[in-house]
Amino acid sequence: MNSKFKEGTLVKPQERIDLNQIKSLHNASLSLLKDPGIICFNKHAAELLSQEGCSITLEKEANNKWRISFPEKVIMDAIESTPREVLLGARNPDNKLLLKSDIPRVYFGTGSETNIYLKSDLNEFISKSDAGHVISMPVYIKERGSVNSLCQSAKLCNNLTNIDFFIRNVNIQDAEISLDNKDVNVFFASLMYMTKHVQAGLVNLERLDDVLKMAEIIAGGADQLKNNPVVSFITCLIKSPFQMVDDTTEKLIAIARKGVPVVISSSPQGGSTAPIEEEGMTALINAEILAGITLAQAVNPGTPVLYGAVPVRARLDTLHDLYGAPEFIHYNIDCIQMARYYGIPCYSTAGAGDAKVPGLQSTIEKVYSQLTIAAAGAQYIHYAFGLLDKTNVFCPLQAVLDDAHIHIVRQILRNPDFNDKNVRDSVKQIRHVIDSETKLFARHIRKAMRKGSVSLPYPFETQEEEDKVLVNAHHHLYEILNGDDERLEDDKINQIYKEIPGVLPGNFFKLEN
Amino acid sequence: MADILEKIKKNVIEGRVDYEDEGFDGDMEGQPGVLELVEKALEENIPPSDILNIAISPGMNEVGRLYESGEYLIPDMLASAECVSEATKILEPLLLEGENKSRGKFVIATVEDDLHDIGKNIVTTLLRGSGFDVHDLGTGIKADKIVDAIEKSQAKYLGLSALLTTTMGHMEEVIDLLKDKGIRDQVIVCIGGAPISEDFAQKIGADLYGEDAFDAINKLGNITP
């Protein structure tokens, strides 16, 4: 078995709240889970949690609505049985991820399921006052998400070196896509061009087995899939505040039974479905995630889960999500610390913003959260690449920019390589240079250069007095899109077509350079 | 013979001056560098001109190619140039008349009242690595001392460096003094430094402006043998 996994970035976690505050929030969550408890619309879950020791009250039988009160012991027993580490596999096993709750090794990846694929095209613009002054700028073209754009996105993201995992980031809206065939086509399009871990939600529970069968084919068999789980799932079973919805809860139960890694996610909006104050938001979202984790462990003790925090704030003029707000960062750091307190690997959120096109606003909004959330030590940071207009748009050009910026974030946060030998070597170097004719340290930095511990300049910089960042990034984007891909092997493709119903014909997945 | 010359060339490319240099991966300390290998080659009676022409110069040419391609950065160039400079100090006295392929004598200085020398030192190292015989006068040098050095060494090239707007005016003093002495036409004057520009170079009558050390070396390459 290949025991290698991706290096990620090891950080020294920055903490926002202290242990007393963490315990206070923990107690607040437990208190809420006891009273008022969770409103549950899924009968299965109510029965399972009842067997665990929760108190279940039927609210309105006609609407299948139960109130579940969680005793502290039930929650704590579930946390105890939750694995401290989660392995996420990959088509290329060297791209596996090992998420350990006590190790702040940060991985970055994509997400959400966007409706718009925003392409860019370079145009020339001539100054009205000086016809000789011409600049190039991208113009943007909106396309509805499709199987082909998901394939293109997967190819791009496979080649962006700072992307560690791929959450399907395009909502495939081709006319041929239905509730019945969507899941198999989402996973097939992603896995066709992606050799890193692939994750998505499940639209239709009845296709779970087909998706897992596809994963088995790619991994090389059922046993191989166990050791190298190339796919995993996201479940957002709580509709904030505190309502366990029927269909997603049923999906979590089925996925947990299979023992496949699963994200227990919650996404309350501060100011509408959660308090806007930090302590209220964290107490609420923490309770919701704990409820989902407790259910997963009730189904199958030892189910590998990620503590999935996606808190966001509302903007107060429209109640839409406001990702560029500092509160977004506060909420997420608090959740990362809660996850660490429980010993559960954390799925966190960074890199989403409100800007609609790549540029100054998008960079500021994204880099602030990419840097601070990574600095807090979340193991698995999603949303980090390509998103615009909250989570409505995936823009390949933005993804290229995010890749460059996250590289810088990684460099900023990497741990110091500091030991007594290095200090002694530095003293020797300083003495040598002081005694030299040139008094220059430049020649002594070659080892550090080649070790990769010396950062390079901004990759899209321009020498002229004109901002060509977007132009240079655009050229880099098309170098990647026109370059080679790591398409799935033909024999596996053929086997998938033979054994998995509903996969669209090959032309949907063909990429034109 | 070919083996040791190949090793010298390799160490020039890797910028390893001597056995203390740990090399790219940090594990070469203790292995002979350019200095030790040149000494060994001389002990084996390999002609100094062969060491220069078969090992050192081709090594530096390869370094130049690697720099042009972006594979090598400034620290790599400086390390290799330092190897050439140090090896040349050993070989030059041993070269027969006519074998010495110095590209010419070069006097370089930072002008009066200016103590900055990083750029000047980088240029000096690169010039020596390119085959120039460089006499570095140091920093804060008055115009008359600079011109005196030119007269005494019969140098064909003069490099002047200044980092301050308050000191750059001294460059014009040096050029005027060369004119007064009647030797302005015998010297190619190159100037550089943060406040310097092409416009300034033209205004004071300098022959060359180098935006940075590499620009200077490139421009010199276009006008020197």
CATH number at residue A334: 3.20.20.480
Mean pLDDT of A450-473: 89
Mean pLDDT of B7-29: 87
Confidence at residue B98, expressed as pLDDT on a 0 to 100 scale? 58
> Do B75 and A449 lie within an 8 Å CB cutoff?
yes
> Do A440 and B124 lie within an 8 Å CB cutoff?
no
Residue A63 per-residue DSSP state? G
Task: Report the alpha-carbon angle B129-B132-B133, nearest 5.
Answer: 115
Q: Is residue A42 part of a domain?
A: no
Instruction: List pLDDT tens digits, range B34-90.
Output: 999 999 999 999 998 889 889 998 898 898 888 888 888 888 888 888 888 889 888
* Same-domain check for residues A300 and A176: yes
> Do A447 and B75 lie within an 8 Å CB cutoff?
no
Determine the length of chain A. 513
* Same-domain check for residues A430 and A406: no
CA distance linking residue A57 with residue A50, whole number of Å: 10
Q: Is residue A35 part of a domain?
A: no
* Same-domain check for residues A428 and A280: no
Q: Is residue A214 part of a domain?
A: yes
Mean pLDDT of A394-401: 98
Lowest-confidence range among A59-63, A139-143, A326-330, B151-155? A59-63
> Do A440 and B74 lie within an 8 Å CB cutoff?
no
* Same-domain check for residues A405 and A446: no
Per the DSSP assignment, residues forming a β-bridge with A135 are A125
Q: Is residue A476 part of a domain?
A: no
Instruction: List pLDDT tens digits, range A84-129.
Output: 999 999 999 999 999 999 999 999 999 989 999 999 999 999 999 9
Nearest to A446 among B20, B24, B121 (CB): B24
* Same-domain check for residues A225 and A337: yes
Q: What is the mean pLDDT of chain B?
A: 88
Other Cβ atoms within 10 Å of A491 Cβ, number: 9
**Best residue in A419, A433, A436, A443 for a mutation probing chain B (most B CBs within 10 Å):** A443
Q: Is residue A44 part of a domain?
A: no
Residues 6+ apart with CB under 8 A from A271: A313, A314, A316, A319
Residues 6+ apart with CB under 8 A from A274: A240, A241, A268, A280, A281, A284, A285, A311
> Do A446 and B122 lie within an 8 Å CB cutoff?
no
Q: Which residue of A has its CA nearest to B14?
A: A446
* Same-domain check for residues A404 and A447: no
Q: Is residue A50 part of a domain?
A: no
Other Cβ atoms within 10 Å of A59 Cβ, number: 14
Chain A CB contacts of B24 under 8 Å are 446-447, 450
Instruction: List pLDDT tens digits, range B196-216.
Output: 899 999 999 999 999 877 788
* Same-domain check for residues A262 and A316: yes
Confidence at residue B99, expressed as pLDDT on a 0 to 100 scale? 62
Q: What are phi and psi of B71, to 5 degrees?
A: -75, -30
Q: Is B151 helix (H, G, I), strand (E, B) or coil?
A: helix
Query: Per the structure block, which two tokens stand in for B211?
Result: 């935006």
Mean pLDDT of A56-80: 91
Residue A463 per-residue DSSP state? S
- E strands, chain B, where? 104-111, 132-141, 157-161, 188-192, 208-210
Give the minimum alpha-carbon distance from B25 to chain A in angstroms, rounded to a whole number: 6
Q: Which residue of B has its CA nearest to A428?
A: B20
Lowest-confidence range among A153-162, A303-312, B119-128, B174-183? B119-128
Q: Strand B157-161 relative to strand B188-192: parallel, antiparallel, unpaired? A: parallel
CA distance linking residue A199 with residue A88, whole number of Å: 9
Domain that holds residue A444: 422-451
Whether A1 shows a pLDDT value over 90: the answer reads no
* Same-domain check for residues A210 and A173: yes
Whether A389 shows a pLDDT value over 80: the answer reads yes
Query: Per the structure block, which two tokens stand in for A493?
Result: 């493709």
* Same-domain check for residues A435 and A405: no
Residues in B whose CB is inside 8 Å of some CB of A read 15, 20, 22-26, 73-76, 78-79, 82, 117-118, 121-122, 124-125
Structural domains in chain B, sorted by start: 2-94 (1.10.1240.10), 104-223 (3.40.50.280)
Instruction: Work out how many domains chain A is built from and give that number.
Output: 2
- E strands, B14-154, where? 104-111, 132-141
* Same-domain check for residues A312 and A375: yes
CA distance linking residue A72 with residue A54, whole number of Å: 10
pLDDT band of residue A468 (cuts 50, 70, 90) is very high
* Same-domain check for residues A429 and A402: no
Mean pLDDT of A171-183: 96
* Same-domain check for residues A403 and A429: no
Mean pLDDT of A133-156: 96
Alpha helices in A136-242 (DSSP H): 147-159, 182-193, 208-219, 222-227
- A–B: how many Cβ contacts below 8 A? 42
Give the minimum alpha-carbon distance from B45 to chain A in angstroms, rounded to a whole number: 30
Confidence at residue B100, expressed as pLDDT on a 0 to 100 scale? 61
